[in-house]
A = this chain, B = another copy of it.
Amino acid sequence: MKGTASLQADERAVLAANSAFYEALESLDLVRMDAVWLHEDWVQCLHPGWELLQGWEHVQESWASIFRSTVQQRVSISRPRACIMGDTAWVSCVEHVTSTFEAEFTTARVETLNIFVRRGGQWRMVHHHTTPVSDRISTEPSHTVQ
């Protein structure tokens, strides 16, 4: 049985891995996103509005596509809760996402579940599952002061 201090250290490490994912998401930098994930053929990702993707090759392609079409992305998270079971951990959190594309921006609140496994002492993402929980607001750019 692990001691409390060790469990707290594990929780900090898992939440840091979760934060690193969101920093990669904001950076729109595929190299940073590569570093977050485990590169195996069974990892899975469900982006909002997409079909489930399986395998790092497809997941990586999806991030490349999203990063190419996004001008800027701001993400904050609330209510992160980490559960750790040996070398597996999952974090549920709410994402607050504002994405800017060429002609519009969208905001979304997304209930998310991220699963990580520990390999070589590093927590790597193996599953990202999103559930939009509020309607997406799509707004044309405006130069009018309202």
Do the beta carbons of A111 and B46 come within 8 Å of each other?
yes
Q: Is A30 an interface residue (CB 8 A)?
A: no
Complex CA gap A133/B115 in Å reads 21
Residues of A within 8 A of B (CB): 42, 44, 46, 51-52, 54, 79, 81, 83, 85-88, 90, 92, 111, 113, 115, 117, 126-127, 129-131, 133
A-B contact pairs, 23 of them (CB 8 A): A42-B81, A44-B81, A44-B92, A51-B133, A52-B92, A54-B81, A83-B127, A85-B86, A85-B87, A85-B88, A86-B86, A86-B87, A90-B115, A92-B129, A111-B129, A113-B113, A113-B127, A113-B129, A115-B115, A129-B129, A129-B131, A130-B131, A131-B131
